A = this chain, B = another copy of it.
Amino acid sequence: MIDVTVKLSDQLILKNPVLTASGTFGYGDEGRDLVDVNQLGGIVTKSITLHPREGHPPPRIAETAAGMLNAIGLANVGVEHFCREKLPYLAGLETAVFVSIAGSTMDEYVEVLSTIEQANLGFAGYEINISCPNVKKGGMEFGVDANMTRELTQRLREATDRFMMIKLSPNVTDIGLIARAAEQGGADAVSAINTVVGMDIDPVTGNFKVSTGLCGLSGPAIRPVALAAVYRVAQAVSIPVIGVGGISAAEDVVRFVRAGAHAVQIGTLNYRDPGIGVKISARLPELLRKIGAGSLGELRGLVN
């Protein structure tokens, strides 16, 4: 028997390393006719904010070579509605559920998390989306500053005992530095990467292809960038690293594990094939057998 389980902490063992990435699988219920999410290692919800958010004006997405651009603008139902209408369903799932949290001030992050804690339901933990503009610091992203990252992590750490991972932005000079700040702040894990800053323009009309101009690049195009980030982060911290970015096959899971990841998240590729996560996790044992590995863990960090 090939072991594909992943131990993230003493309390948290994933049945397999394949999670869905935040914002790419809704609240986990939209696709329930298509996919049995309980066969996934876990799901990360869309990022939840204190108030419901409309999101950005259209167009919000565009396609690029082996990638896509998006500026959804954190469209979401808001924490109250989430706790009432979405969390009970999520808490009933037999897979590890991570609630993604976003905010524009530290207080907002803490308030969102505390509100969810008060709902007092069973789920695995949180992912903290720190690629959000900090309104108090003139729109600078939390995720690009080590001190802000450390402080935010500390404050959230005080508010929950659940598993908490910090999701890193790739748009920094030294991602290892930010990862260490998260670790110092008390994070249980880090996930990497969020989207890469990108842009497209229609040459003929001159319109931005995504209404905000600057937006985020995801998909297979950025897989090498994500793999490099995971490798650097895994060298920098001793907490688990969750790899995200362009994953489209079981082979990619092994790539990220060899770069140092414990588990992975699938984002953009869910749009192409909502069943991809389940398919990939089902294919992993066969691939590990071909490689000659008895468990996924054996391969972690194994690169030459």
- Fill in one digit per residue for A260-285: 1 if any B CB lies within 8 Å of its CB, else 0: 00000000000000000000000000
Partner of A223 from the list B65, B213, B291 (CB cut-off 8 Å) is: B65
- Fill in one digit per residue for A158-192: 1 if any B CB lies within 8 Å of its CB, else 0: 00000000000001110000000000000000000
CA distance A304 to B213 in the complex (A): 8
Query: Are A203 and B255 CB-contacts (below 8 A) given A225-B217, A228-B198, A231-B214?
Result: yes
This chain's copy number in the assembly: 2
CA distance A200 to B228 in the complex (A): 8
Partner of A65 from the list B220, B255, B258 (CB cut-off 8 Å) is: B220
User: Contact: B303 with A200, CB < 8 Å?
Assistant: no
Q: Does A59 contact B (CB under 8 A)?
A: no
Q: Does A227 contact B (CB under 8 A)?
A: yes
What is the CB-to-nearest-CB distance from A194 to chain B, in angstroms, rounded to a whole number?
14
Interface majority SS (helix, strand, loop, mixed), chain A: mixed
Q: Does A50 contact B (CB under 8 A)?
A: no
The interface stretch among A13-21, A127-135, A204-212 is: A204-212
- Fill in one digit per residue for A223-255: 1 if any B CB lies within 8 Å of its CB, else 0: 111011001100000000000001000011011
User: Contact: B206 with A227, CB < 8 Å?
Assistant: no
User: Contact: A259 with B199, CB < 8 Å?
Assistant: yes
The chain B residue sitting closest to A207, CB to CB, is B304
Q: Does A12 contact B (CB under 8 A)?
A: no
Which residues in B have their C-beta under 8 angstroms from that of A66?
Answer: 65-67, 220-221
Measuring CB to CB, which residues of chain A are less than 8 angstroms from any residue of chain B? 64-67, 69, 144, 171-173, 196-201, 203-204, 206-208, 213-214, 217, 220-225, 227-228, 231-232, 246, 251-252, 254-255, 258-259, 287, 290-291, 299, 302-304
Pairs A-B, 3 closest by C-beta atoms: A198-B224, A221-B221, A65-B66
11 A-B pairs besides A66-B67, A198-B225, A213-B303 with CB distance below 8 A are: A64-B224, A65-B66, A69-B224, A172-B172, A173-B173, A199-B231, A201-B303, A204-B251, A206-B304, A207-B303, A214-B228
